[in-house]
Structure formats: structure tokens, C-alpha cells
Amino acid sequence: MVRLAKLVIDSSQLENYTAALKEEIEASVRLEPGVLTLYAVAEKDNPTYVTILEIYADTNAYKAHLQTPHFIKYKAGTKEMVKSLELVETIPLIPGMKIK
């Protein structure tokens, strides 16, 4: 299961948001074998535009992720910081592609 999350963050909250996202990603990747990556980037010219490449082993891994304390904490804590969120389901061109 591969997805792009496209977010726009409230510029006055960007630093707080970034810290919360980093904490959530580090916990997810460390604690959840089924979270294969959460690769987050901010656009250089528009740092409030954040894109996350989300790769889960399968939909069960994703559903379990939604129930974790670290995800629930992130979601509640950043609710007011996120101006928009678009979740785009995708198909990877080369499943199994890694990062060296």
C-alpha cells in the first residue's frame, strides 16, 4: 500500500508541526514492522507544502498504524496546524524499490 500525503501547514505553526511529524515518523518506523517508510519532504520554495511518501506492508499494517498511541497523539496534536490534507492512493512503478 503506497500513498502520497499532501499537506499544507499553517506557516505560524510550521516549526511545531515539523517537530510533531518527526517524532511520529521516528516512532512509527521504529515500532511498526509494517510501516516500511514515511519519507517526508518540504518544498524548498514553499516550506509549508509537505509531501509524505507512505509505504505500508499492507492495509492491515496501515489500519494498525492508525491505532498506535504515537499516531493518535500526532493526529490530535497537529489538527489545528494542518490547513489541508490530501491523501492520494498510488501504484508504485517498481514495487520493492529501496533507498540505498
Q: Which residues lie below 8 Å from residue 4, measured CB to CB, with a gap of 6+?
A: 51, 52, 53, 54, 87, 88, 90
Classify residue 48 by its DSSP letter.
T
Cα separations in angstroms, 38 against 12, 35, 81: 24, 7, 19
In the complex with a second copy, the residue whose CB is nearer, 66 or 99, is 99
Torsion of CA 61, 67, 69, 73, to 10 degrees: 110
Shortest Cβ 7–a second copy spacing (Å): 12
Between 66 and 93, CB nearer to a second copy: 93
Select 26 or 80, whichever has its Cβ closest to a second copy.
26
The binding site for a second copy (CB under 8 A) comprises: 2, 4, 18, 21-22, 25-26, 29, 33, 35-45, 47, 50-51, 53, 55, 88-94, 97-100
The minimum distance between CB 67 and a second copy, in angstroms, equals 20
Whichever of 19 and 72 has its CB closer to a second copy, that residue is 19
